[in-house]
Structure 1
Amino acid sequence: MTKSELKVFLDEKVIQYNNPEFLETDPIQIPHLFTTKEDIEISAFLTATIAWGNRKSIINNSHKLMERMGQSPYDFVLNHTNENLENLAGFVHRTFNDIDLTYFIQSLKNIYTSHNGLEGAFTKHQGKDSLQPTISEFKKIFFELPYEQRITKHVSDPLKGSAAKRINMFLRWMVRDASTNVDFGIWKDINPSKLSCPLDVHSGNVARKLDLLKRKQNDAKALAELDKNLRKLDPLDPVKYDFALFGLGVFEKF
């Protein structure tokens, strides 16, 4: 395929998958349960954090997590008591357990009381062309409180070689425009052109087949390569192609 043919092909796939039907099988359905900005942000962040492995399991466990928070994630984060935190006991998704979750709730409270919320924590340190250095700064903020070392593996650092798939996915949800009723577009101070593709096994494999990516590992260097090529196709909204790459990989076994 020529570059222009590839763009036409991928643009058609974006239209095919970037619509509300996508919500039926995707974890982004969880923040769509809420209407207030803070509830959307927090439910999205926690859902994205556990978004690895079987998608049905991710969605089921995210629903269970919202139930444990009384279907009011912002109120729970801001006003929880020690007794409320006991309600999280026994929660587990793969290697993410109740110890990790308890710290996440406490750290989120610190972020909302000291850093102008999740949006403030990401917008304050944003880079000129990419949010990858921003994610690294966010991790420093996230671990301002005393923590167990094991918890740090659940927040990626792109400057240490990670593709940071789950945080990049969360940022896509928050920043990309809401015109198709999939992403939310509730963060107005980050330009979608700075977003990076949530690189995983599916999008990575499809990108390699389409010659958008040559590097074999799904790491920070691969993400930079993919970002560069997607921005050539659409410099203003490169991450819309996440829908195409993911859809081709998961639904079409491309």
Structure 2
Amino acid sequence: MKQTELKEFLDVKVLEYNRPEFIESDPIQIPHLFNKKEDIEISGFLTATIAWGNRKSIINNAKRMMEYMDHSPFDFVKNHQEQDLQSLLPFVHRTFNGTDFITFVKGLQHIYNNHHGLEQVFSVANKQTSLQAAIHHFKKVFFEIEHLPRTQKHVSDPLKNSAAKRINMFLRWMVRTDQTGVDFGIWKTLSPSQLSCPLDVHSGNVARKLGLLKRKQNDAKALRELDENLRILDATDPVKYDFALFGLGVFEGF
């Protein structure tokens, strides 16, 4: 398939899947429960953190997270008491448990109290072409608090060769301006042109079949390769093609 044909094909698939109906079956529905910026970004970050495995299970467990936080994530993060944190202990999603949940709440509180919020931490990359170094910076800031070493595995680090699928997905939600109302575009200090595609089994397999990716492992090197090729197709909004790759893989078995 020639590049012009590939772009036309993928642009059609973006229009097909980047629609409000996409929200109904996707974890992005959780931050869509909220209107306040801080509630959207905190619920989005926590939801993205547990976004691996069965999608229905991800959505159900993210809803449980919001219930534990009294459906007011920002207020809970800022104002929780020790006994409120103890109530999180029963939570579990795969290897993310209640102790991890408590650490994440404390890490978020640290970021809002001492670093002016999530957007500000990632905004160290506002003059860079990619947000991957900003993810590394965020992880360092997030874990400045006391924590168990095991909890660190729940925030990926691109500088340690991770594709950081879940946090790139979260960044897409926050940064990408979306005319159809799927992504939020509430972080104005960063540009959609800096985003990277959330690379997983589905998007990786489809990208390889379409010739957008040659590397076999879904790691940071593969992400850079995919980034370069998606930016050729659309330099201003490369991760809109996440909808096409994901839709082709999950819904069409491409």
| Letter aligned with residue 151 of structure 2 | I
Give the counterpart letter for 2:68 in structure 1: R
RMSD over aligned Cα atoms: 0.7
Give the drift of 1:178. 3.2
The answer to whether 1:225 aligns with 2:225 is yes
1:20-69 CA-partner distances (Å, limit 9, x unpaired): 10011100000000000000000000000000000000000000110010
Q: Name the CA distance, whole Å, in 2 between partners of 1:113 and 1:12.
A: 44
Letter in 1 for 2:249: G
Amino acid at match of 1:58: I
Name the residue aligned to 2:80: 80
Residue 154 of structure 2 aligns to which amino acid in structure 1? H
2:142 counterpart of 1:142: yes
The answer to whether the 8 A contact 1:193-1:236 is kept is yes
Q: Counterpart of 1:22?
A: 22
Distance 1:150 1:11 in 2: 41
Which AA in structure 2 matches 1:103? T
Give per-residue Cα distances to partners, 1:143-200, cap 9 Å, x unaligned: 1011110000000100000000000000000001132110000000101100000000
Partners of 2:114 and 2:105 in 1: CA distance: 14
User: In structure 2, how many angstroms separate the alpha carbons of the residues matched to 1:108 and 1:128?
Assistant: 24
1:241 is displaced (CA, Å) by 0.1
Partner Cα distance (2:162, 2:115) in 1: 24
* Residues 163, 220 of structure 1: 8 Å contact kept: yes
1:74-93: CA deviation from partner (whole Å, max 9, x where unpaired): 00000000011111121000
Aligned to 1:154: 154
SS in 2 for 1:212: coil
Superposition misfits of 4+ residues, deviation over 4 angstroms: none
Deviates more, 1:83-92 or 1:38-47: 83-92
For the 8 Å contact 1:127–1:133, the answer to whether it is kept is no
**Structure 1 CA distance, aligned partners of 2:244 and 2:234?**
13
CA distance in 1, matches of 2:58, 2:128: 33
2:139–2:157 CA contact under 8 A, matched in 1 = yes
Partner Cα separation in structure 2 for residue 83 and residue 191 of structure 1: 40
Are residue 253 (structure 1) and residue 230 (structure 2) matched? no
User: Using the alignment, how far apart are the partners of 1:108 and 1:127 within structure 2?
Assistant: 24
TM-score between both structures, scaled by the size of structure 2: 0.99
Aligned to 1:195: 195
AA matched with 1:89: L
Secondary structure of 1:189's aligned partner: coil
Q: Percent identity, please.
A: 69
The residue type equivalent to 1:247 in the other structure is: G
Unmatched segments (≥5 aa) in structure 2: none
TM-score by length of 1: 0.99
Contact 1:201–1:218, Cα closer than 8 Å, also in 2: yes
Distance (whole Å) between structure 2 residues aligned to residue 171 and residue 206 of structure 1 = 22
Q: Does 1:92 align with 2:68?
A: no
Distance 1:99 1:153 in 2: 13
Is this contact kept in 1: 2:175–2:184, CA < 8 A?
Answer: yes
Matches for 1:31-50 after TM superposition, within 5 Å? 31-50=31-50
> How big is each residue's C-alpha offset from its partner over 1:77-135, in whole Å with a ceiling of 9 and x where there is no partner?
00000011111121000000001000000010000011110001100344511100110
Partner of 2:244: 244
Q: Is the 8 A contact 2:126 2:189 kept in 1?
A: no
**Structure 1: tracts of 5 or more residues without a match:** none
Query: How many pairs were matched up?
Result: 254
SS in 2 for 1:124: helix
1:58-73 equivalent positions in 2, closer than 5 A: 58-73=58-73
